[in-house]
Amino acid sequence: MTDWFGDWADRYDAGLGAMGEAAAIDPVVDVLAELAGDGAALELAIGTGRIALPLAARGVPVHGIELSEPMVEQLRAKPGGNAIPVTLGDMTTARVDATFSVAYLVYNTINNLTTQDAQVACFENASRHLEPGGRFVIEVGVPDLQRLPPGERFVPIGVRDDYVGVDEYDVLNQGLVSHHQATGRRLSMPFRYVWPSELDLMARIAGMTLRHRWADWHRSPFTADSRKHVSVWQKTS
Q: What is the pLDDT of residues 107-143, one digit of tens each?
A: 999 999 999 999 999 999 999 999 999 999 999 999 8
Residues 6+ apart with CB under 8 A from 151: none
The angle formed by the CA atoms of residues 205, 90 and 218, to the nearest 5 degrees, is 65
Q: Is position 59 within any domain?
A: yes
Task: State pTM to two decimals.
Answer: 0.91
Q: What is the pLDDT of residues 50-90, one digit of tens each?
A: 999 999 999 999 999 999 999 999 999 999 999 999 999 99
Residues 118 and 177 reside in one and the same domain? no
Cα(16)–Cα(170) distance, rounded to whole angstroms? 26
Q: Is position 1 within any domain?
A: no
Q: Which residues pair with 138 in a beta bridge?
A: 105, 231
Number of domains into which the chain is organized: 2
Q: Is position 14 within any domain?
A: yes
pLDDT value, residue 2 = 64
What is the edge-to-edge ordering of all strands in the sheet holding 154-160? 154-160, 163-170, 175-182, 185-192
Residues 182 and 81 reside in one and the same domain? no
Instruction: For residue 39, give its domain range.
Output: 6-143+194-235
Residues 43 and 153 reside in one and the same domain? no
- Asked if residue 134 lies in contact with residue 126, where contact means CB atoms within 8 angstroms, the answer is no
